[in-house]
Amino acid sequence: MSHTVKIEQMEFRAAHGCYDVEQRVGGNFTVDIALEIKDDGAAEADDIARTVNYVEVYEIVREQMAIPSRIIENAAARIAEAVKQRFPQVVSVEVTLAKLAPPMGGKAAKVSVTFKR
């Protein structure tokens, strides 16, 4: 058995983008993460040590978002890998990283990528 923990609409200012100006100026991003966690009795025991501390997950995401990437796929993959390394009880992780108001030569609210590991 397993359960899912989701953290949604985390907001960051970061320097991700293929254009030099995006690397210098940065942009606004959101991150959603869903973690499938192996159920080892954490709910019944009411024990945070048996599950994933979402404050620590947020810190992992924040740290990875602070590292500039040319493509958002790279940042999303790093986030997924870092979470899986820190929490062995995570069976799978799904990260959706969205760049808000991307420079596309036209109006778009966001562009996003979803990475599963």
Please enumerate in sequence order all residues whose Cβ is within 8 A of that of 30, keeping only pairs 6 or more positions apart, or say none. 9, 10, 11, 12, 97, 98, 100, 110
Q: What is the pLDDT of residues 2-24, one digit of tens each?
A: 889 999 999 999 999 887 777 88
Q: What mean pLDDT comes out for the span 65-85?
A: 97
Please report the pLDDT score of residue 50 as a whole number.
79
CATH topology of domain 2-116: GTP Cyclohydrolase I, domain 2 (3.30.1130)
Please report the pLDDT score of residue 89 as a whole number.
92
Report the C-alpha gap between 25 and 70 in whole angstroms. Answer: 13
Q: What is the pLDDT of residues 30-39, one digit of tens each?
A: 999 999 999 8
Give pTM, 2 decimals: 0.92
